Copies of this chain bind each other. A is one copy, B any other.
Amino acid sequence: MTDYTAPVTDLHFLLTQVIRADTLWSSLGLHDADVDTTNAILDEAAKLCEQVIAPLNREADEQGCSLVEGQVTTPEGFKEAYEAYCEGGWGALGGDPEFDGMGMPKTLVACIEEMLQGSSMAFGLAPMLTAGACLALNAHGSQALKARYLPKMYSGEWSGAMDLTEPHAGTDLGLIRTKAEPMEGGAYAITGTKIFITWGDHDMAENIVHLVLAKLPDAPDNAKGISMFLVPKFLPNDDDTLGERNAVTCSAIEKKMGIKASATCVMNFDGAKGWLVGEANKGLAAMFTMMNYERLTVGIQAVGAAEASYQRASAYANDRIQGRALTGAAEPNQTADPIIVHPDVRRMLMHMRAFNEASRAFYLYVASHLDIAKYTTDDNLRTQSEGRIALLTPVAKAFMSDMALSATIAGQQVFGGHGFIREWGQEQYVRDVRITQIYEGTNGIQALDLLGRKVIANNGQWLKDYCHEILLFVSGALSIELKVYAAQLAEQTEIALALADELITRSQKNPDVIGDSANDFLHMIGLVSYGYLWLKMAQESHQLLETTHQDQFSADFLNAKQHCCRYFFNRELPRINHLVYCIKAQTDDLMAMPASLF
């Protein structure tokens, strides 16, 4: 069984037909990026992911990482794969050109991220954390810090980590106890213990740059008293060579359900030397630059793994001979039919595909707004894109990961008993994807962020802007078949808007209304968004099918888009009705039972 095939054709379809990347990029003055360059880059990345990284994924999960005398050793092959990643310059792709980055748009970088994560989530976490740390450092660090650290981090020689959580402080970072004491020369001595630090230590890069949340001596003892510090594993000399070992050490690595090949570290800071990044007491905001990036990428991770699971499941369903079609033997010359003759097997595959492909379109949609927000010179456009990003980041993180778990469970189920055996690889995707619903803010927190901060606190404006875009699209020119679905989507979009208004009013009287409806609301917005993107994909593929002599995409590829769109509108979008029902019900059944009765 092939380990993984990067979904280059689908990415190419989305970039050229749905996101219309060429127009987008040139309108933003990104003249280094065009579809031809893009294709070459996607193909190169695909080679690395398919040939170097993906083949390591299964065995690396069995080996895991080990910790010996404070040093983490990675599974066989990871070091070489990381070298190949660095040599290809992949870490610099989205980086700031001022510090040796390549300045490529997020819409392109996101495609590479999916491939990387699809080939191995555990491995992919290392570049992912580095990229996030670079973003936060670039946005908030001093020029001196940036000049010293960013080029080394873009090249991958030094990797990044994000040190937030403490045993008693996860969601509620105001409770952290790590201290930062001023030292001579403007640096700080950082002391405390952080847990759940992904790739907090490893042997793939020569240095590791920690972005650490800590409290200054006179800081308020809550979320407003948190500052961010850069703490390298080795203190760089003035000539950028590595100097003294800093007092930051890995004291344990966690035994986890999945992503076992990545080291999740307990990090001890024992008066480690660090530098303030951004303003004192504004560390949480600075960290959110990184968190928001990571949240989108967590969604992308989940899709990557769910895509890999789908590829194997569809191959297995075509391969595995067992039983007969309900309508009579499909392959009378064989002892049995391939299990893909069964509607129930196809149900699982269609479910996976309908969500995987819409998720891919969705992260590229969000990425396109990240590009606009970053590069446009039009203030209105920027403001609008910033609103879209704020609104949709929690949806991207939570809905994509929820749907990816559901997809990987289906992808395991297709394999029957073999799906439970580690050797076959399908169960690993379930175990790996499961973390994407938890880290970088649990999906419950994402739902509260969406409904509470992004919809209600904003009086629904960002949601209105987004929904109006959808309503405008569905009222436009569409093929006859799609008009039915467009009407269905318009109705659901209007309902979502009305519900948001209702929740804004109700939450004023009772703030618990937010927590009560947040999860359902997030899933509702997710389904509406995927409906929107399925319509776009179906419309574009329909037009290409009508075009004579187009040879970019095969008729099979385009027809499959039509089938999946139909399936999504017939069977998945209507799930929204249950969510709406629950939100409207206004029952007190979650809060009525005394806590002691649980």
Which listed residue, B170, B196, B510, B564, touches A322 by the CB 8 Å rule?
B170
Query: A505 → chain B, closest Cβ, in Å?
Result: 16
* A382 interface residue (CB < 8 Å to B): no
* A477 interface residue (CB < 8 Å to B): no
Q: Which of A543-598 contact B (CB under 8 A)?
A: 556, 559-560, 563-564, 566-567, 570-571, 574-575, 577-578, 581-582, 585, 587, 589-593, 595-598
Q: Is B563 a contact of A585 with CB atoms below 8 Å?
A: no
Q: Give Cα A515 to B560, complex, Å.
A: 21
Q: Is A596 a contact of B444 with CB atoms below 8 Å?
A: no
Counted per complex, copies of this chain come to 2
Q: Is B590 a contact of A347 with CB atoms below 8 Å?
A: yes
Chain B residues with CB under 8 Å of A340's CB are 595, 598
Given A170-B322, A346-B590, A420-B435, list of 18 further CB < 8 A pairs?
Answer: A62-B255, A165-B417, A170-B417, A171-B322, A195-B417, A255-B422, A257-B430, A326-B515, A327-B512, A347-B590, A348-B444, A350-B593, A409-B434, A412-B434, A416-B438, A419-B438, A563-B592, A566-B592
By the criterion of a CB under 8 Å from any partner CB, how many residues of chain A are at the interface?
Answer: 98
Q: Is A342 a contact of B559 with CB atoms below 8 Å?
A: no
Q: Give Cα A435 to B430, complex, Å.
A: 13
* A168 interface residue (CB < 8 Å to B): yes
Q: Give Cα A423 to B575, complex, Å.
A: 36
Query: A193 → chain B, closest Cβ, in Å?
Result: 15
Which listed residue, B254, B322, B597, touches A563 by the CB 8 Å rule?
B597
Q: Is B422 a contact of A175 with CB atoms below 8 Å?
A: no
Q: Is B590 a contact of A566 with CB atoms below 8 Å?
A: no
Q: Which of A341-365 contact B (CB under 8 A)?
A: 341-350, 353
Query: A450 → chain B, closest Cβ, in Å?
Result: 12
Q: Is B447 a contact of A344 with CB atoms below 8 Å?
A: yes
- 18 sampled A-B residue pairs with Cβ under 8 A: A168-B321, A172-B323, A175-B336, A254-B423, A255-B422, A257-B427, A314-B598, A344-B447, A344-B518, A409-B434, A413-B437, A413-B444, A419-B438, A560-B593, A563-B589, A570-B582, A574-B581, A577-B577
Which listed residue, B172, B349, B518, B595, touches A598 by the CB 8 Å rule?
B349
Closest to A258 in B: B420
Q: Is B317 a contact of A516 with CB atoms below 8 Å?
A: no
Q: Which of A436-479 contact B (CB under 8 A)?
A: 437-439, 442-444, 447-448, 452
Q: Is A171 a contact of B326 with CB atoms below 8 Å?
A: no
* A318 interface residue (CB < 8 Å to B): yes
Most buried by B among A409, A421, A515, A596: A515
Q: Is B256 a contact of A420 with CB atoms below 8 Å?
A: yes
Q: Give Cα A597 to B560, complex, Å.
A: 6
* A335 interface residue (CB < 8 Å to B): yes
Which listed residue, B342, B413, B420, touches A515 by the CB 8 Å rule?
B342
Which listed residue, B349, B438, B560, B589, touches A420 by the CB 8 Å rule?
B438
Q: Give Cα A575 to B523, complex, Å.
A: 14
Q: Is B443 a contact of A413 with CB atoms below 8 Å?
A: yes
Q: Is A590 a contact of B514 with CB atoms below 8 Å?
A: no
* A431 interface residue (CB < 8 Å to B): yes
Q: Is B350 a contact of A590 with CB atoms below 8 Å?
A: yes
Q: Give Cα A590 to B572, complex, Å.
A: 13
Closest to A313 in B: B598
